[in-house]
Structure 1
Amino acid sequence: MATTTTTTALPKRADMPAEHLWKLEDLYPSQDAWNKEYEEVKGLLGEAAAFQGKLTDAAALKSCFELEDKISLLTERLYVYSNMRHHQDMADQTYQALSDKAKKLSVDVGEALSFVTPEILSLSEEQLKGFIADPTLAPYKHTLEEMLRQKPHILSKAEEALLAQVGSISQAPGNIFGMINNADMKFPTIKNDKGEDVELTHGRYIQFLESRNREVRANAFKAMYATYAKQKNTLAATLAANVTKNQFYAKARKYPSALEASLYGDNIPKDVYTNLIATIHESLPLLQRYLELRKKLLGVDELHMYDLFTPLVEEVDMEISYEGAKAKVLDSLKPLGDDYLKNLQAGFEEGWIDVYENEGKRSGAYSWGAYGTHPYVLLNHKDNLNSMFTLTHEMGHALHSHYSDTNLSYRDAQYTIFLAEVASTLNEALLMDYMLKKTTDPKEKMYLLTYYADQFRTTVFRQTMFAEFEMIIHDKSEAGESLTPQALSEIYYELNKKYHGFDGMIVDQDIEMEWARIPHFYTSFYVYKYATGFSAATSFAKQILDEGQPAVDRYLGFLKSGGSDFSINILKKAGVDMSSPAPIRDAMEVFRGLVEEMEQYVK
């Protein structure tokens, strides 16, 4: 196998072996084909304008929806192709220009179709219910039901125009935070592992917390929060302004609270949010048991907050080639059955994946694509454990898209962010289970156990604590209480004591300022999705490994459901009811198993 990961100079795109490149020709065989479709979309925009003011009967509505779908799909294809070409080599000016052209077209399409939803929502409830019941509009039933559900929260044309004008002002808290946090905040110099003076930055902070030298960790921790404490009045005012903004929109759109306004878009009941927090509270003794184990493994008398990120065991050098990674991923996903494996194999062999780094290639990894052709996956593969987990993660997304696209119409195939991480995380859970069962090296096993346990700590417990903090500060503000720096710090410190506090743990006072550096608090009530997605995937994996075929059938049904129903219903039909504690308890049972197995190694 030709390898591209060991040379110091990155190869140019033109020198990459064809078998390691994605086949974008499956989207468009030539630039001429792209140009032709681009011109077709430009022509269709004029046809869309003809429907304005005429969406009053089922025939006109059906024709308009069909045209909207055609324009949207073609635009998506043009956009995805041009951007993926651009990502192959960001220095290639041809595809930079093509990407810009597609982005401008997307804006034009958005403007041309912007009348559709408001016009339908201006109809009476009786007319909308009539459309929902009309058999000629059956392919659009879910769309119309969703519009009917949203109708009570849509305002008059004048009020909507006013809210639109407020839009740029509403972004101010997040923008101001971004400028303070990324541009104006200056951190002090501290000594690194080698005793050298190094400026503390956002990027270096986690590196310092992962240091083997405890003094380095402690100094970085104290320096970070002392710097934020100097800006606490401004940062508290900024976060409070964001909370006030959320309350304004909730009130304007007639929602009971900012939390319910945020959850309404995905039709997620408030119980899902509150139930996550309540169920995680049940398992806090288990988190604290893991922290006690962390204290023993680190060999310290008392655990501090700055000890939570340092690795518990030396990193194991697991060299896994791309071919080896594919083989292990295939083997680990055998519990999902022959059909899943057949489609996964097709993905590996039929040009879905762009494997290795080349000069100018976009960093990171993603799964993307357009309805009507297979999905695509961008990787920057290195021959290590992390890259193997990235491969199975992104192929989880890709197979989710493949199953939803091949079983549903364009409109119903688009799944929500609430569901997106379930399929990718499930693949990771099955790979981890496989690796833990296969490995015979105690050092390797301990490395895997701590790697997985820390995912539970950071993705489930930590994100739930963030979600609880958001809920508390919004509740207090809605009750008329002031969100002063002192109030925010007290709430945050008490939460840290609740989650992390046990006899051998020092919950350092400095952590009270951590609320001031979390960017997600400006995308309110979002972080809970990390915890629910991880829990749902872990629950699916547990059911598949425990029950076999019945659970596999339910899971494949989930993949094939795309966005054809509300997210919570799709999961419930597949056997994961996120409005109940069961999936979170399932995930906690897996975490308990990891902790118990680690305890055997420590004795």
Structure 2
Amino acid sequence: MKLKKREEIPVCDTWNLEDILPSDEAWEDLFNETEGSLSGYKTYEEHLADSGEMLFSCLNFDEEISLKIETLFVYARQKSDEDTGNAKYQGLSSRARALSYQAAGLSSYIVPGILTIPENLLKEYRETVPALKRYDRTLEIILKKKEHTLPAAMEALLANSMEATSGSSEIFNMFNNADVKFPEINDEKGKPVKITHGNYVALMEKQDREVRKSAFYGLYGVYKQFDNTLAATFSSNVKRAAFYAKARNYSSARAHSLAENEVSEEVYDNLIQAVHDGLPYLHEYVSMRKKALGAESLHMYDLYVPMVSGEERKISFEDAKTMVLEGLRPLGDHYLALLKEGFEKRWIDVYENEGKRSGAYSWGVYGVHPYVLLNFNGTLDSVFTLAHEMGHALHSWFSDKNQTYMDAGYKIFVAEVASTCNEALLIRHLLEITEDKKERAYLLNHFMDSFRGTLYRQAMFAEFEDKAHRLAARGEALTSETLCKMYHQLNEEYFGPDMVVDPEIDYEWSRIPHFYTPFYVYQYATGFSAAVAISSRILAGDEKTVKGYYEFLSGGCSMPPVELLKLCGVDMSTAEPVKDALLVFSGLLEEMKRLI
């Protein structure tokens, strides 16, 4: 089926970006106003220590500029994501990004300037100027980074270099979303269907094995054609991360990335170790999948098809919304009312169209409701994606309502908790209400695949990423051959002896957008583990956890992320939540064995 053009999508199924800015003309007005205001940074340079009022005024000015630039960038980028081939919005995104780099350069003296204020004088300012209370957390984070902050001139140089070094990420984004073209294959009815980012997983869930195989070879065959280019792009981004880590006196890019989120490196290592300890469960899952599918050999293209065959249920978006509302009832009326508002007030861009950005996300601007981009295709997976992204959206809503702009943006480490908690609540609701043995097996299959796809797969991604960065740090070249070999070995180790690790999967590393935000993916696995624990307590009727969960949602970055999760009774500084999640997976395996 041919994809619709953007203008053919009904308005009611698109998001309303006019809630951010009423028009492109308003964007231009805000851009010009903001650009003209940047000279105001000079007012405060070399004067931060003059008085507490001067320090407050500078921080307040920087906050206002930051919010304006965020508004410009989010509007432009989301318009661009509607159709990534639209040159106009590519241009607006580039201009907003350039403006942010310009502001970063002009404001780069702020952090080193604050750190040069004598400790006793800064303390006096904070105690005698009540307005500075607004920036307590900001100042706390700055002071923590003292040993990694450079003199003002060097900070300015680093800030001004960001635009010049961001090319690898931009090149990958344009290649992956605007330029790459996948072939047509025949679907289960023999009709031609073009592979897209949006329909690939749906094709991999087809019962017809030839369709899955064709989609698998079709997709990875394209990435294989560009393997050297993509290896160079990936390698460039790894070098970029290493450069900024070294410049800031961190021992590694990983140490730098985790420090930005106030997370210790032990959390990363604990995750990998706990998952390795739990690999026998994944090997058992693979063995069960092979048996359930009646396959002589299990291939990578057999991982997504449900183990329980049956009629493929097509779910309308209206039904999907109802399912999500019912599944999230344990979170209370206030949460449900906000979900309905999001569904009814065009927070969501629902369907795939020609050129639209692949995947799904939630994003937005402080002071405006959050937005959700979907590529809804009527599968059960897409229902869970709706629940997932609305979890992100309402996390942002609560944080924005309860925190200042500076304290509202929650750290990436906790970003996947609310979204995954929604998924866990939904799946358990569906398991509770079904009386059909076959449907129960289907849902168990889906829940187990969430563990495989989020906890195990993202941990494997994290291990690959860590190995790649370590290789680069030793001066070894990250060629396509090196990366493919390493990725192949990890797949063999994770999936075990009953899995045929097809050579095509060796190129999977080259299509993962999150690798261009170094050391991001591990947080899907830690977030999933925390969410499984929190959802279990909520469903058990633990009122203390429910209360703590709302405090967590409202916390933004007002506390370090590990401390925020402790409000819900989950301690991610240990490996216990990961181990506990893997025990839940083990229990699902045992129940599934009895059903099939």
TM above 0.5, one fold? yes
Residue 438 of structure 1, CA deviation? 1.1
Residue 562 of structure 1, CA deviation? 0.8
**Unmatched runs of 5 consecutive residues or more in structure 2:** none
Distance 1:478 1:438 in 2: 52
Judging changes above 3 Å, is the alpha-carbon distance between structure 1 residues 357 and 550 closer, same or farther for their aligned structure 2 residues? Answer: same
Q: 1:457 aligns with which of 434, 448, 452?
A: 452
Residue 5 of structure 1 is matched in structure 2 by none
Q: Which piece of structure 1 moves more, 32-41 or 383-392? A: 32-41
The share of aligned pairs that are identical, in percent, is 44
| Cα pair 1:12 1:359 within 8 Å, conserved | no
1:564 maps to 2:558: yes
Residue 3 of structure 1 is matched in structure 2 by none
Residue 283 of structure 1 is matched in structure 2 by 278
- 1:155-166 to 2 correspondences below 5 Å: 155-157=150-152, 159-160=154-155, 163=158
1:265 maps to 2:260: yes
Q: 2:542 aligns with which of 548, 552, 555?
A: 548
- The CA RMSD over aligned residues, in Å, is 4.8
Judging changes above 3 Å, is the alpha-carbon distance between structure 1 residues 158 and 82 closer, same or farther for their aligned structure 2 residues? Answer: closer
Residue 141 of structure 1 is matched in structure 2 by 136
What letter corresponds to residue 441 of structure 2 in structure 1?
M
1:53 maps to 2:12: no
Deviations 1:94-139 (A, max 9, x none): xx68x96797467546635643342341454553674356132221
What letter corresponds to residue 330 of structure 1 in structure 2?
L
Distance 1:54 1:427 in 2: 48
1:293 maps to 2:288: yes
| Cα pair 2:327 2:426 within 8 Å, conserved | yes
| Cα pair 1:352 1:377 within 8 Å, conserved | no
Q: Which piece of structure 1 moves more, 161-170 or 133-142? A: 161-170
Residue 594 of structure 1 is matched in structure 2 by 588
**Unmatched runs of 5 consecutive residues or more in structure 1:** 1-7
Residue 149 of structure 1, CA deviation? 2.4
1:127 maps to 2:121: no
Judging changes above 3 Å, is the alpha-carbon distance between structure 1 residues 440 and 519 closer, same or farther for their aligned structure 2 residues? Answer: same
Residue 549 of structure 1, CA deviation? 0.9
Deviations 1:79-98 (A, max 9, x none): 656777888899999xx68x
Residue 489 of structure 1, CA deviation? 5.2
Deviations 1:197-219 (A, max 9, x none): 99999899867755655567668
Distance 1:196 1:14 in 2: 24
Residue 423 of structure 2 is matched in structure 1 by 428
Judging changes above 3 Å, is the alpha-carbon distance between structure 1 residues 269 and 196 closer, same or farther for their aligned structure 2 residues? Answer: same
| Cα pair 2:530 2:570 within 8 Å, conserved | yes
| Cα pair 1:222 1:510 within 8 Å, conserved | yes
Q: 1:327 aligns with which of 309, 318, 322?
A: 322
Judging changes above 3 Å, is the alpha-carbon distance between structure 1 residues 321 and 279 closer, same or farther for their aligned structure 2 residues? Answer: same
Q: Which piece of structure 1 moves more, 83-92 or 319-328? A: 83-92
- 1:123-272 to 2 correspondences below 5 Å: 123-124=114-115, 127=118, 130-131=121-122, 134-135=126-127, 136=129, 137-157=132-152, 159-160=154-155, 163=158, 170=165, 212=207, 214=209, 243=238, 245-272=240-267
Distance 1:240 1:383 in 2: 37
| Cα pair 2:455 2:525 within 8 Å, conserved | yes
| Cα pair 1:48 1:113 within 8 Å, conserved | no
Q: 2:398 aligns with which of 400, 403, 414?
A: 403
Deviations 1:563-595 (A, max 9, x none): 212223222333222221122123223322332
What letter corresponds to residue 152 of structure 1 in structure 2?
E
Distance 1:382 1:222 in 2: 22
Deviations 1:522-572 (A, max 9, x none): 543222122222222222212222352111111111101012122232223
- TM-score by length of structure 1 reads 0.79
Deviations 1:161-211 (A, max 9, x none): 665676577557668888999999999999987899999998998677556
| Cα pair 2:300 2:501 within 8 Å, conserved | yes
- 1:484-503 to 2 correspondences below 5 Å: 488=483, 491-502=486-497
Q: Which piece of structure 1 moves more, 146-155 or 276-285? A: 146-155
Distance 1:345 1:219 in 2: 40
Distance 2:163 2:94 in 1: 21
Deviations 1:345-392 (A, max 9, x none): 44445x253576599996665444433344344556666534533432
Length, aligned pairs only: 590
What letter corresponds to residue 396 of structure 1 in structure 2?
G
Distance 1:229 1:378 in 2: 28
Residue 62 of structure 1, CA deviation? 0.4
Residue 278 of structure 1, CA deviation? 0.6
1:339 maps to 2:334: yes
Judging changes above 3 Å, is the alpha-carbon distance between structure 1 residues 144 and 116 closer, same or farther for their aligned structure 2 residues? Answer: farther
1:414 maps to 2:409: yes
Distance 2:282 2:531 in 1: 19
What letter corresponds to residue 428 of structure 2 in structure 1?
D
Distance 2:30 2:180 in 1: 47
